[in-house]
Amino acid sequence: MYILIKRIFDILFSLVALVILLPFFLPISIILLLTGEHEVFYKQERVGYKNRIFGILKFATMLKNSPNLGSKDLTSRNDPRVLPFGKFLRKSKLNELPQLINILIGDMSFVGPRPLMKSGFDRYSEEMKANVYNVRPGLTGIGSIVFRDEELIITNSKLSPEETYRDIILPYKGALEIWYQKHQDFYTDLMLMFLTGWYVVFPKSDLVNKVFKSLPKKV
């Protein structure tokens, strides 16, 4: 029953959000057309619900050939592939706004595990691959909040970007997403949406661990 209510919520609020945020879409689109590689949107294949592939929409923030350059699907802080205006969009998370369209058409939900590229998904264990996307991927979620500055973790690690993501980030992120599936309800989703906004204003806060005291512990 909650899944149906959540889908109705996603449809209604994505429509409302698209209307309200239209004034942000227009200037961002104009700036992107006039700068960088003159691309407004970036569509990329991601793994979604029940491991089906879909095209995620974002504002263009990186060189179009980025997946074939440098650290490929992993992005570090001050990554040279990120365009100047793209740095602002990524830091403010405004680059994610076009995913409201993905939510409206049913590819995604407001809350759920972030959809990964196939190369990132393949780094999961077989058990995790079979379970992590048993719910629709989300615009935000517990994994996104806990790893809100994933780029900094990769940058500061003594390991390679690939090793850092595979051995440090992904195992715990997967555990967080399984925790979410076990605790998915109206309160959890509402608090995750609130915490997403909270961390934009207070990025150093530890509020997520105070709100959700049953989160799995880091190994």
Boundaries of domain holding 64: 2-202
**Residue 219 or residue 21, greater confidence:** 21
User: For position 69, what pLDDT does the model report?
Assistant: 64
Higher-pLDDT residue of 198 and 65 is 198
Pairing of strands 109-111, 138-140: parallel
In the block, which residue shows the tokens 């850092």? 164
The answer to whether residue 71 scores a pLDDT higher than 70 is: no
Provide the pLDDT confidence category of residue 79 given band limits of 50, 70 and 90. confident
Tell me whether residue 213 is in a domain.
no
In a domain, 219, yes or no: no
Query: Which pLDDT does position 70 carry in this prediction?
Result: 66
Least confident of 61-65, 90-94, 172-176, 212-216: 61-65
- Distance of alpha carbon 177 from alpha carbon 186, whole angstroms: 16
207 vs 68, more confident:
207
Cα dist from 101 to 128, 147, 165, whole Å: 27, 24, 28
Residue 112 lies in a domain: yes
C-alpha to C-alpha distance for 49 and 136, rounded to whole angstroms = 5
Please report the pLDDT score of residue 76 as a whole number.
66
Instruction: Give the model's pLDDT for residue 4.
Output: 92
Using an 8 Å Cβ cutoff, are 113 and 177 in contact?
Answer: yes
Task: State pTM to two decimals.
Answer: 0.86
Residue 216 lies in a domain: no
DSSP string for residues in the chain = -HHHHHHHHHHHHHHHHHHHHHHHHHHHHHHHHHSTTS--EEEEEEE-GGG-EEEEEEE--B-TTGGGSTTTT---TT-TTB-HHHHHHHHHTGGGTTHHHHHHHTS-EEESPPPPPHHHHTTS-HHHHHHTTSS--EEE-HHHHHTTTHHHHHHH-SS-HHHHIIIIIHHHHHHHHHHHHHH-SHHHHHHHHHHHHHHHH-TT--HHHHH-TTPPPP-
Say if 212 falls within a structural domain.
no
Per-residue confidence (pLDDT) for residue 219, from 0 to 100: 63
Contacts of residue 127, defined as CB under 8 A and 6 or more positions apart, other chains included, come to none
Closest CA to 108 of 60, 48, 163, 158: 48
DSSP string, 147-197: TTTHHHHHHH-SS-HHHHIIIIIHHHHHHHHHHHHHH-SHHHHHHHHHHHH
Q: Distance (Å, rounded) from C-alpha 41 to C-alpha 142? A: 26
- Residue 91 pLDDT exceeds 90: no
Mean pLDDT over residues 19-40, rounded? 90
What is the total count of domains within the chain? Answer: 1
Average pLDDT over the chain reads: 90
218 located within any domain: no
DSSP strand pairing (41-47 vs 53-59): antiparallel
Q: Tell me whether residue 51 is in a domain.
A: yes
pLDDT tens for 111-160 read 999 999 998 899 999 999 999 999 999 999 999 999 988 878 888 888 88
pLDDT of amino acid 43: 92
Q: What is the pLDDT of residue 19?
A: 95
pLDDT digits (tens, 9 = 90+) for 56-70: 999 988 887 777 666
What confidence score (pLDDT) does residue 148 get?
87
Residue 63 maps to a domain: yes
